[in-house]
Amino acid sequence: MTERLRVENVYKVFSNTPQKAMERLAAGADKDAVQAELGVVVGLNDVSLSVPTGAIYMIMGLSGSGKSTLARCVNRLYEPTAGRILLDGEDIVQLNQNELRQVRRTRISMVFQHFALLPNRTAIENVEFGLKLRGLVPKKRRARAEEVLAIVGLDRWAYHFPHELSGGMRQRVGLARALATDADVLVMDEAFSALDPLIRNEMQDELLRLQHSLKKTILFITHDFQEALKLGNMIAIMADGRVMREGTPQSIVLDPGTDYVAAFTNDVDRSRLFDAASVMRPGSAVAERDGIRVIAASSTGGFAVDTKARILGRLDEAGLAKAKDGADIRAVLAPDFVSVAPDSKLLDVARKCRGIEDLAVTDSEGTFLGVLSPASILTAIAASSNAGQERHLEEKRHA
Amino acid sequence: MLNADDLAVFPVDVWISDAVQWVALNLRPLFLAIKWPIESLLTLIDGAMHDAPFPLVVILFTALAYMLASRKIAIFTAIVLVLVAAMGVWDPAMTTLSLITTAIFFCALIGLPVGIWCARSDRAWSIVRPILDIMQTTPTFVYLVPVVMLFGVGTVPGQVAVVVAAVPPLIRFTNLGIRMVDREIVEAGIAFGASSRQLLWEIQIPMAIPTILGGLNQTVLTAMVMSVVVAMIGAEGLGLVVLQGIGRLDVGRAVIGGIAIVLLAMMLDRITQKMAEPKRATARSRWLAALNLDRLLSRNGSSETVASQSGTNA
């Protein structure tokens, strides 16, 4: 994947005279030390990120971590104190006001936490807003706004005012306004945080659905780790103006690195996060005859595959032993077996388990990819449940 | 024992008289230039109000009240005007109304740009704010002194005093209204690439309008008060009726002047206050919607679907 947006060593110090604070930061002082010493608030402390084209890149952090500051530096609502922000290789920190306006009108758009809709305009007029600023003629911008409102499913509400819409619908208008400008990069600042949990969930699904066809590059700010896991292709966890950990959702949960990050990952429902591919084992060929190969990951069972790696059947413990001793493989295999797709989540995989029987992981053409044992699924899920349970016990003991 | 009067060594009064005299003599063209547009507009409006037949004026004001405010207030306006006529003070009341109308025009002309400028520049606000503080704490009565020195006596100098006294609330509220616009909405404007002019016209002013109209209400009421006080420097109108009543010990005349003033003030207050209220389905929005008929129709059309959709979306 190519890189659309790159943040390089960006600092943001909220002060008219940031030099001293910058010196202290360069000397290794952290946000709190600089604030205690100079009374200056540090928003971002040497932040570097790389956002691939078409990715949903989650910036996750608690309040005061600098996540919203970062979002506002990307389109220069806040001027970075130092560093570079490269959009398709072009440093937007260097742009003059005119060029910056063009970037904001056509290449980066934004969705706000509290929607930031104009209360005195109808939904469709709000969607048109960016196009109006760009100077598009009324007829064209109305046509485009109608198109985008239909995409977010609000075409029947076009002529209603924001106060007549529910929270979820208002944010759909906010999203439509951002999509209308055809910008490649969307900055979503806590876009769903102000919504009810059910509506939030619905909006997250909606965003994933839209992203499937639109393929925007989305920088999504959130304080909700679950949301980050659900939406993100990549996650950066921020604290005190720094990036603590950057990686894919699965890699962060598997290896949090620091206690700070681990505190978030403890509560994660791994059965919904990890997929079959992350737990499966490739197995090894234990017997091969007449163009049939037997692949097993343990002694309790295996799968027989043909030369094209398509599964012919399953062998149980006894069958596997006979096959190893040279019996006819076709005679010992059972035709029924359970197979799952590599991207199905462990929760769905667990629902398909039959007793202690191994499961096969196959791609959409039926090609064998690996073996999943119920035990390995349990182990993968339990890693989190244990941690979660221990914490609950701990809390009970304290209470 | 030290007597307080022994300390009166600063001839401040002399200095001020000298300064005002100097200004009056040397800057006379400037004051004439200030006076000219005010005088022209006042003469125009005053002439129109007095020449127009009484029923026409009543109908016009009632229609205006209906468009700007509501039917209730339109009825109230008609009753007030008829009562004023019935008490026999129609002519002075029209003079007072034209003083106020002229004041509103010049206050808007000065107050809105200054207010906007103050909202966009902290430095401007830091200069203008203390001036407004002084202007608003100065008793209206005290305005008359420099006005008489610089502009003379009569209705036109009175009008100048009315404008000067009535402009501060509008500047204050305009500044406040623009500064109070939700920060996230201003950010949205900037994030979508608004230039500072677009930001002002597309976002800040439209959203500040309720507050600005609140300021207009204050300006109108201050103008009302001042238009009565300027009777002391010879301005005509209802104030003069009261002043003459007092001078001749004619209590009845003084009181009808007072009643007419209160009625007019209530009328103007109700109309402008209603304008400043946040709009839902007020007369004004119906009026605006009527101008944009196809939008109105499409809104009605879609509202039928509201009921069927709200079940799933709520």
The pLDDT value given to residue B305: 37
CATH number of the domain that residue A252 is part of: 3.40.50.300
Q: Kindly determine whether residue B184 and residue A112, on different chains, have CB atoms separated by under 8 Å.
A: yes
The pLDDT value given to residue A394: 53
DSSP string of A190-231, one letter each residue: STTTTS-HHHHHHHHHHHHHHHHHH--EEEEEES-HHHHHHH
Is there a domain that residue A122 lies in? Answer: no
pLDDT (tens, 9 = 90+) of chain A, 399 residues, equals 588 999 999 999 998 888 888 888 888 888 888 888 888 899 999 999 999 999 999 999 998 899 999 999 999 999 999 999 999 989 999 999 999 999 999 999 999 999 999 998 999 999 999 999 998 999 999 999 999 999 998 989 999 999 999 988 999 999 999 999 999 999 999 999 989 989 999 999 999 999 998 899 999 999 999 899 889 999 999 999 999 999 998 888 888 888 888 888 877 878 888 888 888 888 888 888 778 888 888 878 888 888 888 888 888 888 888 888 877 887 788 888 888 888 888 888 888 888 778 888 888 888 888 888 888 888 888 775 444 445 445 555 555
Q: Which of A268, A285, A304 is the last residue of a domain?
A: A268
| B137-176 as b/e: b if 16+ CB within 10 A | eeebeebbebbbbbbeeebbbbbbbbbbbbbbbbbbbbbb
Is there a domain that residue A48 lies in? Answer: yes
> Which tokens sit at B74?
């339109």
Is there a domain that residue A139 lies in? Answer: no
Is there a domain that residue B313 lies in? Answer: no
Question: Do A99 and A189 belong together in one domain?
Answer: yes
What is chain B's Cα-based Rg? 24
A100 near A92, Cβ under 8 Å? Answer: yes
Inter-chain CB pairs, A–B, below 8 Å = 77
Q: Which of A268, A284, A307 is the last residue of a domain?
A: A268
Is there a domain that residue B203 lies in? Answer: yes
Question: Do A316 and A187 belong together in one domain?
Answer: no
Q: Kindly determine whether residue A72 and residue B309, on different chains, have CB atoms separated by under 8 Å.
A: no
Q: Can you list the residues of chain B whose pLDDT is less than 70?
A: 278-314
Question: Do A227 and A361 belong together in one domain?
Answer: no
Question: Do A363 and A246 belong together in one domain?
Answer: no
User: CA of A106, closest CA in chain B: separation in Å?
Assistant: 8
> Which tokens sit at B26?
């040397």
Question: Do A53 and A197 belong together in one domain?
Answer: yes
Give the number of domains in chain A. Answer: 2
Is there a domain that residue A324 lies in? Answer: yes
Question: Do A223 and A319 belong together in one domain?
Answer: no
Q: Kindly determine whether residue A133 and residue B198, on different chains, have CB atoms separated by under 8 Å.
A: yes
Is there a domain that residue A230 lies in? Answer: yes
B154 near B234, Cβ under 8 Å? Answer: yes
Is there a domain that residue B114 lies in? Answer: yes
Q: Bridge partners of A86?
A: A6, A91
Is there a domain that residue B19 lies in? Answer: no
- Within an 8 Å CB–CB cutoff, is residue B199 touching chain A? no
Question: Do A263 and A298 belong together in one domain?
Answer: no
Q: Kindly determine whether residue B194 and residue A133, on different chains, have CB atoms separated by under 8 Å.
A: yes
From the list B192, B298, B299, which residue is nearest A105 (CB)?
B192
CATH number of the domain that residue B95 is part of: 1.10.3720.10
ipTM above 0.90, yes or no: no
Question: Do A234 and A285 belong together in one domain?
Answer: no
Residue B248's domain spans which residues?
26-279
Is there a domain that residue A49 lies in? Answer: yes
CATH number of the domain that residue A344 is part of: 3.10.580.10
From the list A120, A129, A169, which residue is nearest B192 (CB)?
A129
Question: Do A238 and A361 belong together in one domain?
Answer: no
Indicate if the alpha-carbon torsion angle B300, B305, B311, B314 is positive or negative: negative
Question: Do A196 and A318 belong together in one domain?
Answer: no
Is there a domain that residue A131 lies in? Answer: no
Residue A286's domain spans which residues?
276-378
Question: Mutation test of the interface with chain A: which of B182, B186, B192, choosing the one with the most A Cβ atoms within 10 A?
Answer: B192
B22 CB burial (10 A radius; 0-12, 13-18, 19+): exposed
The pLDDT value given to residue A350: 85
Q: Which of A268, A294, A322 is the last residue of a domain?
A: A268
> Which tokens sit at B214?
């609140």
| A189-223 as b/e: b if 16+ CB within 10 A | bbbbeebeeebbeebbebbeebbeeeebbbbbbbb
The pLDDT value given to residue A325: 82
Give the number of domains in chain B. Answer: 1
Is there a domain that residue B178 lies in? Answer: yes
Is there a domain that residue A369 lies in? Answer: yes
In chain B, residues with a C-beta closer than 8 Å to the C-beta of A108 are: 191
Question: Do A369 and A308 belong together in one domain?
Answer: yes
Q: Which residues contact A109 (CB under 8 A, 6 or more apart)?
A: A130, A177, A178, A179, A181, A183, A185, A186, A187, B191, B192
From the list B195, B207, B298, which residue is nearest A101 (CB)?
B195
Question: Do A88 and A192 belong together in one domain?
Answer: yes
d(CA B138, CA A55): 63
Is there a domain that residue B5 lies in? Answer: no
